Amino acid sequence: MIRQTGAAAVKTFNLAIVVTVFSVNAMAAAGKPAHRPAPASPPQQAAQATPAPALVTLGQELDREMPILSKATPAAYFIGYTLTSSQRAEVMGSNGALLASEENRSRWLETQVRVGSYDLDNTHKVGNSAPGQGSFGVAVPVEDDPGVLRRAMWLQTEKQYRAASEALIKISTSREVQAQTVEEHAPDFSREQPHVFYGPEISVNPDRKPWEVKVRLYTRAFRASPQILNSIVTFSSLGENQYHVTSEGTRLQFGQVHYRLELFIQGKAPDGMDINRYYNFDWTNPADAPDDKAVLAQGQVLRKELEALVAAPLVEPYAGPALLTGRATAVFFHEVFGHRAEGFRQKDINEGQTFARKVGEQILPSFLSIYDDPTAKTIGKNMLLGYYPFDDEGTPAERVTLVDKGVLRNFEMSRQPLTGFPRSNGHGRRQIGAQPVSRQGNLIVQSSRAVTNAELRVKLVEEIKRQGKSFGLMIDDIAGGFTFTGRGQPQAFQVQPLVVYKVYTDGRPDELVRGVDIVGTPLVSLTKILATGDTMEIFNGYCGAESGSVPVAAAAPAILISEMEVQKKETSIDKPSILPSSGHDPKGARP
């Protein structure tokens, strides 16, 4: 799912459960890796010939460990190290005041030791039990100190090797291994060509002072609305250099920069339903930062939407035509299609919806094609957050055609092979500290049956009339399953329409409704797409799933669906506040 706002955006929390909550959030905080700008076809282009001292040290210790552990019993056949050097800054404001302004540097070492063979190793999944692989890793010095870094590598390697050995023994003695299905009999690790690439190292040092002024200014503006109970604006910058070495010969070094500004406001409808609005700006070049005018204007849009939603009636149960704007469509495809096309899910017996046996079959209308392209940096002028030159297993990113003219062709693949899909296509991704699995990068939906967005709206009205309905739905914004709240566990594939209008056929203006829940399997809706618009819209966000939170983008045109069934969402039992806020108290703020 796409998580639009970081968990950090949730200001209110229970101290009592802070421990549990933040053991999860710690990953979010330390994570957010990937998407690193570098030359478009990296392996051909040796941007900078010299490996950094950190990369040299990684190689030295690897060259000491591998000869010994590859001769041990059981033998290690693969060792990989990833060192991620991060510089991050964050400035948060809330309700007109500064909430926090911090920056830090860190280096994080991850170690992977595999024992056994490419065909059967310690990561092999038996039944429901996933053998524990890898660890969170360890913090290492932020400055180059070969002795201290190598000591950490040595300890981690030993720990990983022991865990892997124990796991392999359990696996090889398991009776279940004998009785596994075709999918489960695929090798455990794909054979890949090693890659050597030394990109330039990057550095980011934003001046936090101006942002401290800005986040106060932006959140103070929201105070004007009595309906806005809480506002949070967050500026963040992340500069990350990644160093990657493997016993197969891969040596990589590349850097990446990301700046982000997030606006988040919360309100409550009279029946207690929580209403949230969110918007994010993303950029990689400091000169592209949005100016005050642009941010305040976007803030006004959010405010108006929130105020309208607070006052809007609840939706009534409905089944009929629906139009999704491009941004909503992008999120929709990411959630209901993109996740199901992740290769590792085809292997997992717990995943109900498997595409594994549908390759070559028509699964979408023939005018739709979908590909995932992490090598794309932009569409038009918009940056794509899911760009990266190499994935987190050191495989070069590849553009993958997932659906060609409606026919399922391929999956997003990591180095965990599937029967018939023996190789990675550069989609093995993870948040720092998690094991990479196949994930999306930039999911792009293309249509050969495009009409202008204005024509698509006309077609919607025609379809409503054709079906004899009094109105249809226009969905302008969709949240992924876990958006906003930061509580509980992520639920992939869940979609929640946030901004929904009833569109009438008699010329009445569109009417905003709230509390819309999609009924049934959203995947079914994809087969009922009648036509699409002609303008690609892009959603950038952080997607949380099994391997943590990774930056992704989804791009799609608007779509017209012949039938979507919706119902009323259950409302919160948490009623609106008893008193008005002090800033909007008719009896005066002071008692």
Q: Which of residues 407-436 bind other proteins (CB under 8 A)?
A: 433
Q: Is 98 in the site for other proteins (CB under 8 A)?
A: yes
Q: Is 106 in the site for other proteins (CB under 8 A)?
A: yes
Query: Residue 570 — φ and ψ, nearest 5°?
Result: -65, 135
Q: Is 585 in the site for other proteins (CB under 8 A)?
A: yes
Q: Is 19 in the site for other proteins (CB under 8 A)?
A: yes
User: Rounded to an integer, what distance in angstroms lies between the CA atom of residue 414 and that of residue 434?
Assistant: 14
Piece in contact with other proteins (CB under 8 A), picked from 87-95, 296-304, 329-337, 542-550 = 87-95
Residue 22: burial class (beta carbons within 10 Å; 0-12, 13-18, 19+): middle
Count other Cβ atoms within 10 Å, centred on residue 510.
15
Binding mask 467-486 vs other proteins (x if CB under 8 A, - otherwise)? Answer: --------------------
Instruction: Out of 1, 54, 58, 69, name the contact with other proteins by CB under 8 A.
Output: 69
Touching other proteins, residues 306-345 (CB under 8 A)? none
Q: Is 586 in the site for other proteins (CB under 8 A)?
A: no
User: Rounded to an integer, what distance in angstroms lies between the CA atom of residue 409 and that of residue 423?
Assistant: 14
User: Rounded to an integer, what distance in angstroms lies between the CA atom of residue 420 and that of residue 361?
Assistant: 15
Query: Residue 487 — φ and ψ, nearest 5°?
Result: -115, 145
Q: Residue 486 Cβ, how far from other proteins at the closest point, in Å?
A: 11
> Comparing C-alpha atoms, which of 588, 591, 583, 578 is closest to residue 272?
578
Q: Residue 190 Cβ, how far from other proteins at the closest point, in Å?
A: 27
> Comparing C-alpha atoms, which of 223, 225, 244, 245 is closest to residue 233?
223
Q: Is 209 in the site for other proteins (CB under 8 A)?
A: no
Instruction: Out of 133, 174, 180, 230, name the contact with other proteins by CB under 8 A.
Output: 230
Q: Residue 590 Cβ, how far from other proteins at the closest point, in Å?
A: 5
Q: Are 288 and 282 in contact (CB under 8 A)?
A: no
DSSP 108-132: EEEEEEEEB-SSSBTT--BTTB---
Nearer to other proteins, 148 or 182 (CB): 148
Q: Which structure tokens are listed for 60? A: 């030295």
Q: Is 458 in the site for other proteins (CB under 8 A)?
A: no
Nearer to other proteins, 116 or 441 (CB): 116
Nearer to other proteins, 26 or 294 (CB): 26
Q: Residue 9 Cβ, how far from other proteins at the closest point, in Å?
A: 11
Q: Are 244 and 282 in contact (CB under 8 A)?
A: no
Nearer to other proteins, 387 or 542 (CB): 542
Q: Is 79 in the site for other proteins (CB under 8 A)?
A: no
Piece in contact with other proteins (CB under 8 A), picked from 44-52, 99-107, 198-206, 298-306 = 99-107
Q: Residue 85 Cβ, how far from other proteins at the closest point, in Å?
A: 12
Touching other proteins, residues 117-146 (CB under 8 A)? 136-143, 145
Nearer to other proteins, 93 or 321 (CB): 93
Instruction: Out of 102, 176, 316, 361, name the contact with other proteins by CB under 8 A.
Output: 102
Q: Is 96 in the site for other proteins (CB under 8 A)?
A: yes
User: Rounded to an integer, what distance in angstroms lies between the CA atom of residue 268 and that of residue 208?
Assistant: 32
Q: Residue 66 Cβ, how far from other proteins at the closest point, in Å?
A: 10
**In sequence order, what are the residues at sequence separation of 6 or more whose Cβ sits closer than 8 angstroms to the Cβ of residue 56?**
none
Count other Cβ atoms within 10 Å, centred on residue 50.
9
Q: Residue 26 Cβ, how far from other proteins at the closest point, in Å?
A: 4
DSSP 483-532: TTT--S---TT-EEEEEEEEEESSSPPPEEEB-EEE-S-HHHHHTTEEEE
Q: Residue 585 Cβ, how far from other proteins at the closest point, in Å?
A: 8
Nearer to other proteins, 197 or 222 (CB): 222
Touching other proteins, residues 282-301 (CB under 8 A)? none
SS3 53: helix
Count other Cβ atoms within 10 Å, centred on residue 454.
10
Q: Residue 131 Cβ, how far from other proteins at the closest point, in Å?
A: 16
Q: Residue 123 Cβ, how far from other proteins at the closest point, in Å?
A: 20
Nearer to other proteins, 93 or 551 (CB): 93
Q: Is 68 in the site for other proteins (CB under 8 A)?
A: yes
b vs e for 534-544, b when ≥16 Cβ sit within 10 Å of the residue's Cβ? eebbbbbbbbb
Q: Which residues pair with 90 in a beta bridge?
A: 102, 236
Touching other proteins, residues 244-273 (CB under 8 A)? none
Q: Is 583 in the site for other proteins (CB under 8 A)?
A: yes
Touching other proteins, residues 156-195 (CB under 8 A)? 157-158, 161-162
Nearer to other proteins, 17 or 519 (CB): 17
Q: Are 363 and 340 in contact (CB under 8 A)?
A: no
Q: Is 148 in the site for other proteins (CB under 8 A)?
A: yes
Q: Is 577 in the site for other proteins (CB under 8 A)?
A: yes
Q: Residue 191 Cβ, how far from other proteins at the closest point, in Å?
A: 26
User: Rounded to an integer, what distance in angstroms lies between the CA atom of residue 499 and that of residue 485?
Assistant: 17
Q: Residue 411 Cβ, how far from other proteins at the closest point, in Å?
A: 31
Q: Is 147 in the site for other proteins (CB under 8 A)?
A: yes
Q: Is 33 in the site for other proteins (CB under 8 A)?
A: no
Instruction: Out of 94, 111, 547, 549, name the contact with other proteins by CB under 8 A.
Output: 94
Q: Residue 275 Cβ, how far from other proteins at the closest point, in Å?
A: 15
Q: Is 26 in the site for other proteins (CB under 8 A)?
A: yes
Q: Residue 162 Cβ, how far from other proteins at the closest point, in Å?
A: 7
DSSP 188-220: SS------EEEPPP------HHHHHHHHHHHHH
Amino acid at residue number 228:
I
Instruction: Out of 216, 340, 427, 430, name the contact with other proteins by CB under 8 A.
Output: 216
User: Rounded to an integer, what distance in angstroms lies between the CA atom of residue 4 and that of residue 553?
Assistant: 11
SS3 157: helix
User: Rounded to an integer, what distance in angstroms lies between the CA atom of residue 333 and that of residue 537?
Assistant: 12
Q: Is 223 in the site for other proteins (CB under 8 A)?
A: yes
Number of residues that bind other proteins (CB under 8 A): 76
**In sequence order, what are the residues at sequence separation of 6 or more whose Cβ sits closer than 8 angstroms to the Cβ of residue 5?**
262, 264, 278, 280, 483, 484, 486
User: Rounded to an integer, what distance in angstroms lies between the CA atom of residue 111 and that of residue 245?
Assistant: 10
